[in-house]
Amino acid sequence: KKGLNDYAKKAGKLYFGTAADVPGTNETTDKYYRAELANRDDWGQVTPANAMKWVFTEPEQGVFNYTEAETFLADAAPPGRLVRCHNLNWYNQLPNWLTSGTWGKANLTAVLENHVTNLVKHFGDRCYAWDVVNEALSDSGTGNLADNSTWRSDIWFNTIGPEYVAIAFKAAEAAVKANKLSVKLYYNDYNIESAGNKSTAAQALVKSLKDAKIQIDGVGLQSHFIVGETPSRAAQSANMQAFASLNVDVAITELDIRAEVPPTAAAQQQQVLDYESSVGACADVDACVGITAWDFDDSYSWIPSTFPGQGYGDLFFQPGGYNTPLVRKAAYD
Ligand code: XIL
């Protein structure tokens, strides 16, 4: 046994995993990519990078479509592999009927509750965890939940107000109870991986849900980092500990560490140290249950299209391009 998931288990963690985008892209037909995705020694957990998002799962109001998600699960989630289900509420990748509708607080709340209730029930205990709310906080807040600037200005906040987060978690909790599930409910965000106003706000959010006796089991630290700017192992583990002391699990949910492409030799070396900081921090903190890479092959990473000029964020690359052998980077070891 010598894969990433094996090492994670040896370190007392539940899993090392990856996001994947099958079906629907070249990933689906690249046989070298697919062989690595099937590698149980490396990947003990999977997250659908897109298939469970609102635009796919409720393409028309009240009409649920689980085709993409079921294809993903059949393909990437054989028995014994954990699934982090992603996500129930986000501002992005919403269907047109939702973004272009004219909503008041009451009817958008009903839309949110109906979506959460349906998805939690449909996937049931096939989800180890759900990212219930994704990216609710702004990057320029004060850390105080009472300040509007702390919240992302999106359809949910602007129509319902900050209580939409509690509404989503309450609906998820009710569905967990009604269907007798054991799925863990997570808040997931980026830029909350080390101390700062956004992490402070996320901690306050956890506290506010706990104070209201609403179920929240964990916080997902996305960890989309930049080579050379990754928080140190000590900074990451102290931040994880701050969440853990609120009585929630933490997980690294979307790890990638990008650089300008082509990467310099120095950047390639630094990436190894930066991966070590994240993996080491999770190893240091008992409440850190596992690590998910946001896909494992640079060929299929979201980075180049989102951050032009950047890439090289994942643990493998394909020097020969599509449908050629994958090569492990030094960071893998
Ligand atoms: C990304 C996917 O990887 C892309 O394929 C898609 O086009 C956009 O979304 N934070 C998240 C993820 O929580 O859902 C995002 O995934 C990456 C940033």
Q: What is the ipTM of this complex?
A: 0.99
pLDDT by 10-residue block (mean), the chain, 333 residues? 93 98 88 97 98 98 98 97 99 98 97 99 98 99 98 98 99 98 99 98 98 98 98 98 98 98 98 98 98 98 97 98 96 90
Give 219's strand partners. 187, 250
Q: How far apart are CA 84 and CA 61, in angstroms?
A: 25
Return the residue matching tokens 């807040």: 141
Q: Dig out the tokens for 181 from the structure.
A: 């599930």
- The pLDDT score that the predictor gives to residue 1 is 65
Q: How far apart are CA 208 and CA 205, in angstroms?
A: 5
Q: Cite the DSSP H helix spans in the chain.
A: 4-10, 31-37, 54-57, 67-76, 96-99, 105-123, 155-160, 164-178, 197-211, 233-244, 265-284, 303-306
Query: Measured from the CB, is residue 150 less than 6 Å from ligand 1?
Result: no
- The pLDDT score that the predictor gives to residue 170 is 99
> b/e for 213-244, b at 16 or more Cβ within 10 A?
ebbbbbbbbbbbbbbeebbebebbbbbbbbbb
Dihedral angle sign, alpha carbons of residues 135, 138, 143, 147: negative
Catalytic annotation present for 254: yes
Collapsing DSSP states into helix, strand and coil, what is residue 169? helix
Nearest CA to ligand 1 atom 16: 49
Nearest CA to ligand 1 atom 7: 302
Q: How many residues does the chain have?
A: 333
Nearest CA to ligand 1 atom 14: 49
- Residue 303: name the closest of 260, 268, 264 by CA: 260
Instruction: Write the burial class of residue 177 (CB in 10 Å: 0-12 exposed, 13-18 middle, 19+ buried).
Output: exposed
Whole-Å CA distances, 182 to 141, 249, 285, 312:
34, 14, 23, 37
Query: Measured from the CB, is residue 302 less than 6 Å from ligand 1?
Result: yes
Query: Cα(92) to centroid of ligand 1, in Å?
Result: 9
DSSP 178-207: HTT---EEEEEESS-SSSSHHHHHHHHHHH
> b/e for 303-331, b at 16 or more Cβ within 10 A?
bbeeeeebbbbbbbbbeeeeeeebeebeb
Specify the DSSP element, H or E, that contains 134: strand 129-134
- Choice among 68, 173, 193, 254 that is catalytic: 254
Whole-Å CA distances, 173 to 166, 179, 185:
10, 10, 8
> Packing angle between helix 164-178 and helix 105-123, nearest 10 degrees?
40
Query: Measured from the CB, is residue 134 less than 6 Å from ligand 1?
Result: yes
Query: Measured from the CB, is residue 186 less than 6 Å from ligand 1?
Result: no
Task: Kindly report the CATH number that applies to the domain delimited by 4-332.
Answer: 3.20.20.80
Query: Measured from the CB, is residue 223 less than 6 Å from ligand 1?
Result: no
**Domain residue spans of the chain:** 4-332
Q: How far apart are CA 43 and CA 312, in angstroms?
A: 20
Catalytic annotation present for 260: no
Strands 224-226 and 249-260 come out as parallel
Q: Tell me the Cα Rg of the chain.
A: 19
- Choice among 27, 135, 173, 193 that is catalytic: 135
Return all residues near 10 (Cβ < 8 A) that are at least 6 apart. none
Decide if 94 contacts 54 (C-beta within 8 A): yes
